[in-house]
Amino acid sequence: MSRRLAEVAQKVGVSEATVSRVLNGKPGVSEPTRQAVLTALDVLGYERPTKLRGERARLVGLVLPELANPIFPAFAEVVGGALAQQGFTPVLCTQTAGGISEADYVELLLGQHVSGIVFAGGNYAQRDAGHAHYERLVRRNLPAVLINASIESLPFPRVSCDDEVAVEQALGHLTALGHTRIGMLLGPADHVPSERKLGAARAMAARLGIELGDDRVTRSAYSLESGQAAAARLLRAGVTGIVCASDPLALGAIRAVRRAGLRVPQDVSVVGYDDSALMNCTDPPLTTVRQPIEPMGRAAIDLLVGQIAGSAAPQDELLFEPELVVRGSTAPATTA
């Protein structure tokens, strides 16, 4: 007990006596100090006293599918900063292959009595994935916000980049450069953002009179290596431009082009999606569609904090417009 008092007191910057008063429910402690002590208990991994366990901590879970794609650490930085400004402490949960699942993280966060959870990519975007842990959050009435497109049945606020506009920008750029044989390198078939991108691409291709058959659409896991293998199939179909669903997929596509003895952008143009860190430093610098992560992340926290304060959660989707960033991986088509 004395060790716990000392650690919590040091973490908060108060006396052990103050910590003891909070743990024993005694008066004489300001509400901000009381909340800081309870948050320190949660952060240090100590269980709250039984009589305090019903209260939610000023902790917010931030659940990410991975850290390999630089867009997710970028979201974590924005969301974490916005939470800190509102007086909350983020608890970062990232999945690894063969590691703790998203559902397991939800259980852990519920055990920590978090005030809410922000998901930036996850099972909610995949139709065939497990969704029972989201239903638990609904039953517990725990505030949550989803960043980017979700299956329709989940009753959480969503803050999304407009996938349809993103594809229209990418395809419009390539067709303006004279490309007519364009391939789409997308995520899994049950991935909602990829569904939206493909729907928009096919509608635009029909308007432009460009063929976008099944041989010009390929699916991939979201990794550079998978993107390289999938892009190789598009190259065999004779495409001169490739629109990718993420920047790592685009880097994989560039590698596939070079392995085929071709050049980017002289022979094949490549467009990414996200504008994640260092994409202006690749060889060549990557043309990509930028997600507006700063306003998206801040909007997500505003929605979450509103729910925590008792406001009704809006059920509609808040769409943010992306921006095409033209660099060196696209060029005019050399063949018709």
263 half-sphere exposure, CB direction, 13 A CA radius: 8
> pLDDT tens across 167-217, in order?
999 999 999 999 999 999 999 999 999 999 999 999 999 999 999 999 999
Whole-model pTM: value is 0.83
Sign of CA dihedral 129, 132, 134, 138: positive
Q: What is the distance between the alpha carbons of residues 82 and 301, in angstroms, rounded to a whole number?
A: 7
Check whether 17 has a pLDDT greater than 80. yes
* Mean of all residue pLDDT scores within the chain: 91
pLDDT of residue 55: 58
Check whether 293 has a pLDDT greater than 50. yes
Check whether 335 has a pLDDT greater than 70. no
Instruction: Check residue 274 and give left, alpha or beta (phi > 0: left; psi -120 to 50: alpha).
Output: left
> pLDDT tens across 129-152, in order?
999 999 999 998 899 999 999 999
pLDDT of residue 336: 47
Collapse the DSSP code of 99 into the 3-class scheme (helix H, G, I; strand E, B; otherwise coil) and give the result.
coil
pLDDT of residue 287: 98
pLDDT of residue 31: 77
Q: What is the distance between the alpha carbons of residues 211 and 19, in angstroms, rounded to a whole number?
A: 68
Mean pLDDT of 148-161: 94
> pLDDT tens across 258-276, in order?
999 999 999 999 999 999 9
pLDDT of residue 56: 65
The percent of residues above 90 in pLDDT, for the chain, comes to 69
Helices (H), the chain: 2-12, 16-23, 31-44, 71-85, 102-111, 132-140, 163-176, 192-208, 224-236, 247-259, 293-308
Domains contained in the chain, CATH given:
2-52 (1.10.260.40), 59-161+292-322 (3.40.50.2300), 163-290 (3.40.50.2300)
pLDDT of residue 280: 94
- DSSP letter for each residue of 256-284: HHHHTT--TTTT-EEEEEE--TTTTSSSS
pLDDT of residue 57: 67
Which residues lie closer than 8 Å to 58 by C-beta, 6 or more apart?
A: 35, 38, 39, 87, 88, 89, 115
List strands edge to edge, sheet with 241-244.
217-219, 182-186, 241-244, 269-274, 287-290, 323-325
Which residues lie closer than 8 Å to 65 by C-beta, 6 or more apart?
A: 72, 94, 95, 102, 120, 121, 122
Who wins on pLDDT, 65 or 43? 65
Check whether 92 has a pLDDT greater than 60. yes
> pLDDT tens across 312-328, in order?
878 889 999 999 999 99
Pair 140, 301: CB distance under 8 Å: no
> pLDDT tens across 98-134, in order?
778 899 999 999 988 899 999 998 999 999 999 999 9
> pLDDT tens across 222-245, in order?
899 999 999 999 999 999 999 999
